[in-house]
Amino acid sequence: MDTGNAGHSAHEFGHPMNLGNIDLNLLKVLDVLLVEGSVTRAGKRLGRSQPAVSSALQRLQHLLGDELLVRGPEGFVLTARAEAIRGPLREALGLVESCVSTKPRFDPAKATGVFRLSMPDRLSLALIPPLLDRMQQLAPGATLQVTTADRRQALELIDEQRVDLALGCFDERPPHLNAEILMQEDLFCVVRRGHPILRRGAKYEIERVLSFPHLVVSATGNWRAIFDELLSRHGLQRRALVAVTNFTVVPHLLAAT
């Protein structure tokens, strides 16, 4: 049996609706009820039982302070209040559905705020100038903050939400982070002009490379870098003569020793 709780007078209902007492699911039921004008048809459309929809209707009547559906000559009809809110309610629910179902589209031209990156010092000169130039062209309202960090530091900075993106070489990536390979790099041995390792006829082998003292560049000031980890995998190690935290002084040190 279809019911619209006909016969109630307006004074039997509660005060006007307080948004703190209503949820979105109840508003969805109200929307279907106002469209169908029937508890039975609304229940079928919502996939709910008639008692469940009747209970929701009673809650809505008390929250809105209106009967919403009243019995007429040919069935139930909407009250004046129900007619007034039907259109705005449909628009409001449509807007909510659009907000939660549509992925926001990033528009760099309208972007503001700070893009926070971390990277090893060796990448700074190669990446920051062209990146900043591209940002000024495409996202003039955004700014850039770069933190020099090694691999372990970079992962910690992301977990602590102190940076948005980390660039570098990561042998092991935690499963809760996403990563993308941007490029492959080769390792190079950089020495001064006239270094003994470059002597004509000398074999360029890893043992010979490791026979000379090395300069280590580490953002943390440690005596180990990625090359040391690669060596460890093969049971090898090098002798570090000096460790620095950036590449600024590296050319001078290599040229003078």
Per-residue pLDDT of 176-210, as tens digits, reads 888 898 888 888 889 999 999 988 888 888 999 99
| 9 or 191, greater pLDDT | 191
Q: 98: which 2 tokens? A: 């659009």
Per-residue pLDDT of 69-111, as tens digits, reads 888 776 778 888 888 888 888 888 888 877 777 677 889 999 9
The reported pLDDT for the residue numbered 96 is 80
Q: What is the DSSP letter of 77?
A: E
The reported pLDDT for the residue numbered 58 is 87
Q: 151: which 2 tokens? A: 């691999």
For 188-207, b/e burial (b = at least 16 CB within 10 A) is eeeeeeeeeeeeeeeeeeee
Per-residue pLDDT of 13-68, as tens digits, reads 444 555 555 667 888 888 888 888 888 888 888 888 888 888 888 888 888 888 88
| 237 or 79, greater pLDDT | 237
The reported pLDDT for the residue numbered 61 is 84
How far is residue 186's CA from residue 252's CA, in Å, rounded to a whole number? 23
Identify the CA nearest to 236 among candidates 225, 245, 227. 227
The reported pLDDT for the residue numbered 255 is 93
Identify the CA nearest to 10 among candidates 80, 74, 77, 72. 80
Mean pLDDT of 164-175: 85
Q: Where are the domains of the chain?
A: 10-101, 108-166, 196-256
The reported pLDDT for the residue numbered 31 is 86
Residues 218-225: contacts with CB within 8 Å, 24+ apart?
A: 218/150, 218/243, 218/244, 218/245, 219/120, 219/121, 219/148, 219/149, 219/150, 219/153, 219/245, 219/246, 220/150, 220/152, 220/153, 220/245, 221/245, 222/150, 225/150
The pTM assigned to this predicted structure is 0.54
The reported pLDDT for the residue numbered 210 is 95
Fold for domain 108-166? D-Maltodextrin-Binding Protein; domain 2 (3.40.190)
The reported pLDDT for the residue numbered 102 is 66
Per-residue pLDDT of 110-126, as tens digits, reads 999 999 999 988 888 88
Residue 167 pLDDT class (50, 70, 90 cuts): very high
Fold for domain 10-101? Arc Repressor Mutant, subunit A (1.10.10)
Fold for domain 196-256? D-Maltodextrin-Binding Protein; domain 2 (3.40.190)
Identify the CA nearest to 219 among candidates 193, 257, 246. 246
| Res. 241: pLDDT tops 50 | yes
Neighbours of 240 (CB within 10 A): 16
Bridge partner list, 78: 69
Tokens 């003292």 -> residue:
213
